[in-house]
Amino acid sequence: MAPADNWKRAQLDDSFWAEQFAGLQDPHVAPINELVDRLSHAKGAVRLPHAAPWHGGIHAPVLSVLNDPGEKTLVPDFLCLRNPDRASDRQRHLMTEFDINPSDFCPWNGYPWPRENKKDLTPGEALEGGRALLEIMSLMTNLRLLLLLGRKARDAADAVLPELTASYPHLEVVRSLHPLGAKSTVHRQEQKVVWANVATLIKQGMA
């Protein structure tokens, strides 16, 4: 187990993933996975990660948005913070430090389809991602916080910002660095302040 991490990485052969596959149609993630399948077919049945039932799905108070799933050959099976990658590691460490439960989060990507480069989103891609973001937001039953982690997440939200703010006037929107974007001591401290505030907002919502 990594330091300051309540939930270890789940390697590809971990039984955890079989449990996630078995729960793909659980009520709290089935609507999201139906959306994922529609988004996949819209791009020629390209492979997309599905919502992991380990997270809160449509009942999560926080929709946590990263960049994109990566290249086609590297797309993970699930949107899940137990994926064996460094960005997931960093988020788990922050969740542990600030006592955030996995069920409080529903992971998503600003551009939900694979991309073969790491460049910024084009205006067209940002708009597509923004429309998909609005779709998943419409499924959420208890959404209190939109957490935009990284430029692509922010660009997708900004592409539909008038509609987003009109539809969710009381929603907290937090913009921060990508989990791996905090390179300096100052940025790491700023990142921790953001996550401390996220934890506070979650707890306030539960009170």
pLDDT at residue number 6 = 65
pLDDT band at 35 (very low <50, low <70, confident <90, very high): very high
Contacts by 39-43, CB closer than 8 A, 24 or more apart:
39/112, 39/113, 39/132, 43/113
3-state secondary structure of 61: coil
- Give CA–CA dist 20/117, Å, rounded: 29
Average pLDDT, the chain: 92
* pLDDT value for 4: 47
pLDDT of residue 14: 92
Q: Hey, what are 125's tokens?
A: 């891609």
Quickly state the pLDDT bin for 2 (edges 50, 70, 90): very low
86-122 tens-digit pLDDT: 999 999 999 999 999 999 999 999 999 999 888 999 9
pLDDT value of residue 204 = 87
Q: What is the pTM of this model?
A: 0.93
Closest to 34 measured CA to CA, from 42, 25, 22: 25
Q: Which domains does the chain have, with CATH numbers?
A: 19-206 (3.40.470.10)
